[in-house]
Amino acid sequence: MASFTQTFKNIFKIEELRQRILFTIGILIVVRIGAHITLPGIDINALQLANADEANTLFGMFDMFVGGAFSNAAIFALGIMPYITSSIVFQLAGIVIPTIQKMQKEGEEGRRKLNQWTRMFTVVICIFNAWGVSIKLMSQQAGNGIPVVTNPGALFVVSTIIILTAGVIFMMWLGEQITERGLGNGISLIIMIGIIARFPAAIWQEWLLISTGARHWIVELFAILLLVGIIALVILISQGARRVPVQYAKRQIGRRTVGGVTQYLPLKVNAAGVMPIIFAQTLMFIPNTILYFFPASETLMSIAKLFQYDSWFYALCYFIMIMAFTYFYTAIIFNPRDMSENMKKQGGFIPGIRPGQATTEYIDYIITRITLPGAIFLGLIAILPTFVTNVFDVNRSFAQFFGGTSLLIMVGVALDTLNQVESHLLMRHYDGFMKSGRIRGRAN
Same domain, 262 and 139: no
Q: What integer pLDDT is reported at residue 319 of this predicted model?
A: 87
Same domain, 191 and 316: no
Question: Residue 426 falls within a domain, yes or no?
Answer: no
| 8 A C-beta contact, residue 107 and residue 12 | no
Beta strands in 308-435 (DSSP E): 348-349
Dist. CA 264–CA 40, nearest whole Å? 56
| 8 A C-beta contact, residue 322 and residue 280 | yes
Same domain, 243 and 332: yes
Question: Residue 265 falls within a domain, yes or no?
Answer: yes
Question: Residue 415 falls within a domain, yes or no?
Answer: no
Confidence tier at 256 by pLDDT (50, 70, 90): low
Same domain, 148 and 46: yes
Dist. CA 378–CA 382, nearest whole Å? 6
Same domain, 345 and 384: yes
Tell me the DSSP string of 265-327: EEEETTTTTTHHHHHHHHHHHHHHHHHTTS---HHHHHHHHHTSTT-HHHHHHHHHHHHHHHH
Which of 274, 39, 251, 20 is closest to 134 using CA atoms?
39
State which residues form the domain around 251. Answer: 211-408
Q: What integer pLDDT is reported at residue 148 of this predicted model?
A: 83
CB atoms within 10 A of CB 206: 18
Same domain, 105 and 180: yes
Same domain, 229 and 177: no
The answer to whether residue 54 scores a pLDDT higher than 70 is no
Question: Residue 417 falls within a domain, yes or no?
Answer: no
pLDDT per residue as tens digits for the range 261-282: 677 888 888 887 777 877 777 6
pLDDT per residue as tens digits for the range 106-144: 777 888 888 888 889 999 988 988 888 888 888 877 766
As for how many domains the chain has, the answer is 2
Q: CA Rg, the chain, in Å?
A: 24
pLDDT per residue as tens digits for the range 18-53: 888 889 999 999 999 988 888 888 888 888 777 766
The answer to whether residue 436 scores a pLDDT higher than 50 is no
Taken in order 117, 119, 120, 122, is the CA torsion positive or negative?
positive
Question: Residue 437 falls within a domain, yes or no?
Answer: no
The answer to whether residue 323 scores a pLDDT higher than 50 is yes
Between 400 and 76, residue with greater pLDDT: 76
**pTM for this one?**
0.77
Percentage above 70 pLDDT, the chain: 84
Question: Residue 418 falls within a domain, yes or no?
Answer: no
The answer to whether residue 168 scores a pLDDT higher than 60 is yes
Same domain, 171 and 233: no
Same domain, 182 and 99: yes
Which residue, of 142, 164, 197, is where some domain finishes? 197
Instruction: Describe the crossing of helices 186-196 and 154-181 by its angle, rounded to 10 degrees.
Output: 110
**Which of 87-91, 160-164, 249-253, 277-281 has the largest mean confidence?**
160-164
Same domain, 159 and 57: yes
Confidence tier at 296 by pLDDT (50, 70, 90): low
Of the ranges 185-199, 202-216, 283-297, 346-360, which one carries the lowest mean pLDDT score? 283-297
Which of 24, 234, 50, 76 is closest to 142 using CA atoms?
50
Question: Residue 428 falls within a domain, yes or no?
Answer: no
| 8 A C-beta contact, residue 269 and residue 240 | yes
Between 9 and 83, residue with greater pLDDT: 83
pLDDT per residue as tens digits for the range 390-411: 777 777 777 777 777 778 878 8
**Cα–chain center distance at 200:** 20
Average pLDDT of span 86-115: 79
Confidence tier at 427 by pLDDT (50, 70, 90): confident
Same domain, 161 and 280: no
Confidence tier at 443 by pLDDT (50, 70, 90): very low
Residue 340: CATH number of its domain: 1.10.3370.10
Question: Residue 438 falls within a domain, yes or no?
Answer: no
Taken in order 56, 62, 68, 73, is the CA torsion positive or negative?
negative
Annotate 97-125 with b (16+ C-beta within 10 A) or e (fewer).
Answer: eeebeebbeeeeeeeeebeeebeebbeeb
Same domain, 118 and 86: yes
DSSP letter at 260 equals -
